[in-house]
Homo-oligomer: A and B are copies of this chain.
Amino acid sequence: MKTQIESAAQGIVTKEMRHVALEEGVDAHIIRRGVANGEVVIMSHQHPIGIGRGLRTKINANIGTSSVAVDPELEVQKAIIAVKYGADTISDLSMGGDIVRIRRSVLQAVPVPLTTVPVYQTVAEHGSFRPITQEDIIETIRKQVREGVNSVVIHAGLTLKMLSMLREAQRVMGMVSKGGSLTSAWMIEHESENPFLERFDEILEILRARDTVLSLGNAMRSGCIHDIRDDPQSLEIRANAELADRANRMGVQAIIEGMGGHVWIGDIEKYVKYHKKIIDNRPLFVAGPLPIDVAVGYDHIAACVGASIASGAGADYLCYITPSEHLALPNLDQVREGTIAFRIAAHIGDSLKYGPSARDLELAKMRRRRDWKGQFELALDGERAREIHPQAKGCTMCGEYCALELMDRYLGVDL
């Protein structure tokens, strides 16, 4: 089997490329060219989706158990809710309970691509770092790929040198990436270089076999807005850019995580543009970013601001933040809130990338006509809009003194 990038490089337009082209309203040859030069990746579970330059900004929803919160059925429900409200992909980050079974249930429950962070499962199954061998780490990736996950996150850009630099760095928050910290803990415990980096070619072979997308994790992202970009972070960005290039040359599609975490509002646009340049316009995956630290309980709203600016500046793929970020695993309502907040961010970002959308225009026309049904159909979450709108009374905001009605009556402007 050829991977999408191998086909693209040979000038072949696959059925997946045609599907993505149709969905995005872009010519299939442009999709092929994007895939060939690594600017676009295509992930397929029940349907293919495209992520990258020139395409609609995509959003990912994280679900999954932790060691202290295990309810497999709830995680499946979270995945279903996230997809219902517009998540383009799901990441199952489970570290508690029967991880394989949870993943299988999620894969069956939702049609969208599924991502994992294999080191989570490896560590959860062993319970500590010492007994884990490099081979265990590779074997988890092999198994997960065989099970059909569509993308795996590995923190291969991280090195012992960066860890020693991090010890010296003047950071308030140190390292806040969970996958990064698990990988680091293994490296320190084993006094060994990064296992994902040492076995990188072997991992690429595993991924290429099923066209599983490589996602290069961002261990060194900042954990508060006062932690500014420092040497470990810059080094990891460059390392990941090189690894993505190696992956592409081996026929493996790659996404690069970066620029996420907590970033001062004045730096977001600049950092995204810089990062996209360093990675040769490959797909940039961003968590948040959060432009302030004090919005605890409402981090989905603060992150929506950061993610709107990030996607407008060129980020292709956003990882949602829910109201429970920094506090707890999200419940179903919080998954819904986080998903919608990031649909809003992606829509704002896209309206900057591609101009105001036709959907906004249509909704405005419905609003002008007081066509409530039409507005609910065009809203990102029409169900919520319907709940708030008091059907019997019309809009209670202005009652009989509706500006729109007054203007129609007095100015008689044509609709």
A96 on the interface (CB 8 Å rule)? yes
Point out the residue from B341, B376, B387 that lies within 8 Å of A301, measured CB to CB.
Answer: B341
Copy total for this chain: 2
> Does B188 contact A410, Cβ atoms closer than 8 Å?
yes
List the B residue with the shortest CB-CB distance to A409. B185
The interface size of chain A toward B, counting residues with CB under 8 Å, comes to: 112
Chain B residues whose CB sits within 8 angstroms of the CB of A123 once the complex forms: 401
Chain B residues whose CB sits within 8 angstroms of the CB of A352 once the complex forms: 265-266
A384-411 contacts to B (CB < 8 Å)? 384-385, 387-390, 393-404, 406-411
A177 with B403, Cβ < 8 A, contacts A292-B351, A396-B66 known: yes
Among A188, A345, A385, the most chain B Cβ lie within 10 Å of the Cβ of: A385
> Does A406 contact B181, Cβ atoms closer than 8 Å?
yes
A361 with B224, Cβ < 8 A, contacts A397-B326, A404-B176 known: yes
A340 on the interface (CB 8 Å rule)? yes
List 23 interface pairs A-B (beta carbons < 8 Å), by A numbering. Answer: A66-B399, A67-B400, A95-B401, A172-B364, A176-B403, A178-B403, A180-B403, A184-B410, A224-B364, A265-B352, A293-B360, A293-B361, A293-B363, A294-B378, A295-B347, A296-B380, A298-B344, A301-B344, A305-B308, A305-B344, A328-B388, A328-B390, A328-B397
Q: Which 5 A-B pairs have the closest CB atoms?
A: A224-B364, A67-B399, A297-B384, A66-B399, A296-B379
